[in-house]
């Protein structure tokens, strides 16, 4: 019985190969939250690294800050339009 339900659930899942052209309000708010979280984590990492005396710990904190910076920048690239608008002549 449980196998049938699991199989039916897998068959009902639809995977999207491309993101939609328009995002919902809920998606927009979540993306905004993710940007804020990564920006805050990046700022905190750099602050704590600048106040750290141990070189190994300072480097580990800097690497964490770089990771959050990359995540922030990657999110921004997903928000940029992928197609150029045609120019009117």
**Structural domain range at position 62:** 21-79
Using one digit for the tens of pLDDT, what is the confidence trace for 30-48?
A: 988 999 999 999 999 999 9
For residue 1, being part of any structural domain is answered with no
pTM for this structure? 0.64
pLDDT in tens, 63-87: 999 999 999 999 888 777 655 545 5
Which 8-state DSSP code applies to residue 80? S
Judge whether 8 lies within some domain. Answer: no
Residue 38: in which H helix or E strand, if any?
helix 25-50
Mean pLDDT to the nearest integer, 48-57: 95
C-alpha 51: how far from chain center: 28
In a domain, 5, yes or no: no
Looking at the domain assignment, is residue 72 inside a domain? yes
Number of domains in the chain: 1
């Amino acid at each position: 019985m449980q196998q049938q339900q699991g199989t039916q659930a897998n068959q009902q899942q639809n995977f999207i190969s491309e993101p939609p052209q328009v995002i919902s309000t809920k998606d927009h708010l979540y993306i905004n939250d993710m940007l804020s979280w990564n920006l805050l984590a990046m700022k905190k990492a750099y602050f704590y690294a600048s106040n750290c005396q141990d070189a190994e710990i300072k480097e580990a904190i800097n690497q964490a800050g770089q990771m959050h910076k990359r995540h922030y920048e990657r999110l921004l690239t997903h928000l940029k339009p992928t197609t150029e608008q045609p120019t009117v002549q």
